[in-house]
Homo-oligomer: A and B are copies of this chain.
Amino acid sequence: MMPIETSLLARSKLFEGLDRVSAERLAEYGELMWFGPREIIIREGAEATSIFCLLQGYVRLCKANADGRAIDIRICEPGDSFAECLVAGGSTYAYSAHAAGAVMVARFDLAEVKALAHMDRDISGALMRLMAGHLLDLMECIASDRLDTALQRVTNYLLSHCMLEQQHATIHLPFQKNLLAGKLGLTPEALSRAFATLKSAGVAVQGRIVRIGDIAALRRV
């Protein structure tokens, strides 16, 4: 592994908080992999062999129902991990993972990580922190699914990405609106319409750049 990649790995959520010994021990098992747009990294229901740490790009985690329709469970950003909950049990992947653009990941063998976590309290602690964070995120997600409208979800997203004390802000969306819609549990059309109605609240969208004229006004939506 090159120095660049190790430093990316070291800054990931999985590794943050590990002492040097544990980090090096774990990193030794990592194998770099690259994927192109739409490539499938793991497939829901398949035999679980690995857990992953995303170093570059974005990954969508999806679940499908019986008739093939699929939705995004979570959007992974650089530094995120996925499939990590398998270290606590389970033999198949619970969701699929698709690369959304060019992606670099570190792959870890599941059995090896399990063994390592069993020996190294630091590593199992890091895994637990990851899972706890994901739990909180998912609960937030369910809550917003069930009691916020599309408009509210979008405004909440925008507000959570700017300093609330300022008067106005400019946000660079980290990925395509497509992905953002999935993250918020919306269709692309619904997201587009939400942005459209926010125009009257002083929100201007050009591509991935969002300018918010009056943050206080947005909070009142």
Contacts and interface: CB of A to CB of B under 8 A. Distances in A.
Interface of A: 63, 65, 69-71, 73, 85-90, 94-95, 118, 121, 124-125, 127-129, 131-136, 138-148, 185
B85 A136 contact: yes
A124 B135 contact: no
A27 to B, nearest CB: 22
A121 to B, nearest CB: 7
A124 B128 contact: yes
A121 B107 CA distance: 25
A99 to B, nearest CB: 20
Contacts of A139: 63, 73, 94-95, 138
Contacts of A147: 65, 69-71
B85 A135 contact: yes
> 5 nearest interchain CB pairs?
A88-B132, A63-B143, A138-B138, A88-B128, A71-B146
Interface centre among A73, A90, A135, A144 (most CB of B within 10 A): A135
